[in-house]
Structure 1
């Protein structure tokens, strides 16, 4: 059984769509990061495991979910819980890791319609990805909000960022450790009605994420 870590902050409408779509063999761990909209109750009602993490921050949620994952299968997937990704794409992201072709697989977002990925967020991602390619040699074009790796590998990297810098720190650390990193195209959908991205939904949110990631680059 492959665990899927879903960092969650007020994603109840999306969870109702997302959780029933989990493919066979993939088990959701909803990491509730202080939701006030009943997300945890929705998740439990749909059979998901819920882990409560009082410390705010995307990285805090992902780390807690990774620690909570079952080490037996060994592979952990991570994806946003806002409905912008289809769980049906999880096997295509996890398969390169399962086959030993990569230590880390990251989804490269491919928007399915106009307006799905706001220009300010797309530009910020492109700038960071280009800098990452230049400084690490990784052939990546997205900072990887959907990804897969082995649980023990992730924990052994000793990542310390608990905010939005976590995905970038992961890629930098993977490059430093000599990991094979591969990109897999994944569909990027409009979020579920009633949800709003903490990063791409506003210019302020994108700026906050870029600030966190820039701090990681500076280190």
Structure 2
């Protein structure tokens, strides 16, 4: 990847960019950013925070990307397009997942043993993963298995892949279906997709997506729509 020139100074791209979609995560940011591996760059994508998250992230050395269009997918894709590293990782910004755990994910991508590595969340504390959120995730994993044949157990946010290949997938969802669309389109493109177990901790603050039954099933509906779109797209390509 080419280096970037800023005011006559050439700066090399980071080893890895970590995209951190952020909406009011001021409490969690110090812990999350402290766990970013050395040589990697934290891309905090501020999605309309009102608690000073962007200012805190900048003060802690992160690169802040502003995405005014609200939506998890919108934030993730803004981070992906702003990335400069060859390998891009994604991680929630609520301290439920440790970005330091992405090191072996990146090793798999670099070695060529996988094209997309996903984190399979394993709850490590009571209340880390509410029953309704687990139920919604299980339903989606079964849908994905029927659609793609992949025996995945989770569609969690911790993941790694090469930036240029992710951009080539042409991801269009800008809501909570973005992670699912990434997996389905990668499967359709015959990517090697693997899972690694990762501890899942109680998040800091309230979830904006799966904090309630209503939020969980809205996410399931969004993702079901992505699966329907993917099936239609595949059938069309076969005609």
2:118 is the alignment partner of 1:133: no
Q: Cα RMSD between the aligned structures?
A: 0.9
Q: Which protein, 1 or 2, shows the higher relative CO under an 8 Å CA cutoff with sep ≥ 6?
A: 1
User: SS where residue 117 of structure 2 aligns?
Assistant: strand
Provide structure 2 residue ranges, at least 5 long, that are not aligned to the other structure: 1-14, 230-239
What's the CA shift for 1:93?
Answer: 2.0
The number of residues matched between the two structures is: 215
The yes-or-no answer on 1:201 pairing with 2:211 is: yes
Equivalent residues of 2:33, 2:42 under 8 A apart: yes
Check if 1:104 corresponds to 2:116.
yes
Preserved CA contact (<8 Å) 1:94 1:147: no
- The runs of 5 or more residues in structure 1 that have no matched partner are none
Matches within 5 A, 1:76-155: 76-155=88-167
Please state if 1:29 is matched with 2:43: yes
What does residue 234 of structure 2 align with? none
Q: Is the 8 A contact 1:139 1:182 kept in 2?
A: no
Pairs within 5 Å for 1:183-194: 183-192=195-204
- After the TM superposition, which segments of 4 or more aligned residues of structure 1 sit over 2 Å from their partners? none
State the Cα deviation string for residues 107-138 of structure 1 (Å, max 9, x = none). 00011112210000001100110111122011
State the secondary structure of the residue aligned to 2:151: coil
Equivalent of 1:217 in 217, 227, 232? 227
